[in-house]
Amino acid sequence: MWRSLFSSLLLFGMSLYWTPVWAQISTTEAVNLSGMQRMLSQRIAKSYLMIGSEVRAEQANQQLDQSLARFESNLLALDDYASSPPIEQQLQRVTLLWQEYRSLVLQRPERESAVRVLSLSDQLLAECETLVAQIERSGAGRTAQLVNRSGRQRMLSQRIAKLYLALSWKLPQQELQTQFGQAVSEFSQALDELQAAPENNAAIDAALTKASAQWAFSQSGFRLSEDGRYVPTLISITCETLLEQMEGLTRAYTELLL
């Protein structure tokens, strides 16, 4: 089942979220890409857990390949963009942590290593959050804030799936249930805020309606875990749909400035 992932670093063009890395990016686009790094930090850990617990392992291998490649290509684009010393310094912190994280997830997924993967994924997420905030403060406006908000929903879709898989695999880490509940609550609150945004056009409103329906369906699966019944395959699929929907919304908010 398991195969070497080192070749993934050459597969920049395979990702679902491909954008040419050689194009000069704007501040709003930099918010989008740095926000995507948050999502990828969680998606990589989720894919690792899926492989290790044998939940849609073939698809998870492909996702892991693509996510590793995309994180690398985003780093190149953001390094080219870096517009101030604080952003450059934060990008260096992200890169150093990324190198450790990447080395770990390129190894065969094992239950014993999964707790460390979870910890590093959270650390990388925190550093990427700081990077997004710094870029947003560097001159982005209200629309970029919406890009950040919808982009964070991408991350939460993958964080929720990651934590759910960790719970279903019964990993020995404290606070998993609390973190899961917090992520679910944050997703619901942010979805309400996006629906209330006055900048929304008809297409965005329609996309948000679809996302809300998908979110309601996902929550019905979450409730099963309260009785100790886990459906990791279902949740991995529904969270993947949420990711695609929130990616579309993030692109739509980005295009409001074009």
Rounded mean pLDDT of the chain? 89
Quote the pTM value. 0.89
> What pLDDT is stored for residue 236 in this prediction?
95
Whether residue 205 is predicted with pLDDT greater than 60 in this model: the reply is yes
Binning pLDDT at 50, 70 and 90, where does residue 63 land?
A: very high
The domain locations on the chain are 24-255
Residue 52: predicted pLDDT: 97
State the pLDDT at residue 9.
40
Mean pLDDT (whole number) for 124-148? 86
Q: Determine the pLDDT at residue 226.
A: 72
How far is the C-alpha of 25 from the C-alpha of 77, rounded, in Å? 8
Whether pLDDT at 68 is above 70: yes
